[in-house]
Amino acid sequence: MPNQLLVNEVVEAVLNGEVTEELEDRYVSSSSVYDDEFSESTTSEIAWLPDTDAFERSELHHWDAYFDRSYMEKIGIGDKTANDWLKGKEISDGDYKIFLRHWIRESFHEFDWSVHPIASVHRIFHSDGRSIYVLIACSEPGQGGFEFPNVFEGFYRTLHEAIAYLKNNGLIDKHTEDEIQEYIMRAVRL
């Protein structure tokens, strides 16, 4: 658990825009998901689908290992296209976008704790009362069983900045249709 002097140093550095990698490393290495300041989230925990978690185009060549034919038909992928994918034919951007749009919606509808991270924001205080926010994300409820370096996402001056980070680097469960489209465009570029 970081001592108050280290917390003061981190809050000061974040608010002044002077966070160094060394300071961040010291905070992260002294922290645990079991520390008091991480026992309660400043916001309700939110489902987060990072850009790097998008169902990959290359995996769709083996769609039958994940999805049945009726699922593919339901989302608008016809027999010919599905069979072409199984034979290794390149998946077009258009078909990939159709697939991703449905996969994203269903990922949140049938949310799986073990697959997608839950992001939570925690406020830490300088001894003089000023504060910043620490963002962590993990793929299991309650953050138990995770090392802090693996779940730490960063320090933020405001709650708004922390949520903006999540939106800019993926999709959270308060998504709009425009945000789904933006996520798809980033995934297609990957």
32-60 confidence digits (pLDDT tens): 888 888 888 888 888 899 988 888 888 99
pLDDT value at 141 more than 70: no
**Helix (H, G, I), strand (E, B), or coil: what is residue 131?**
strand
Contact between 171 and 48 (Cβ < 8 Å):
yes
Residue 133: predicted pLDDT: 97
The helix (H) or strand (E) run that includes residue 171 is strand 170-172
Residue 55: predicted pLDDT: 87
Which residue in 127, 186, 104, 118 sits closest to 153, CA to CA? 118
Cβ neighbourhood burial of 14 (10 Å; 0-12, 13-18, 19+): buried
pLDDT value at 85 more than 90: yes
Residue with tokens 């730490």: 152
Residues in the chain: 190
Q: Which pLDDT band, with edges at 50, 70 and 90, does 140 fall under?
A: low
Q: Which two tokens stand for residue 176?
A: 């709009």
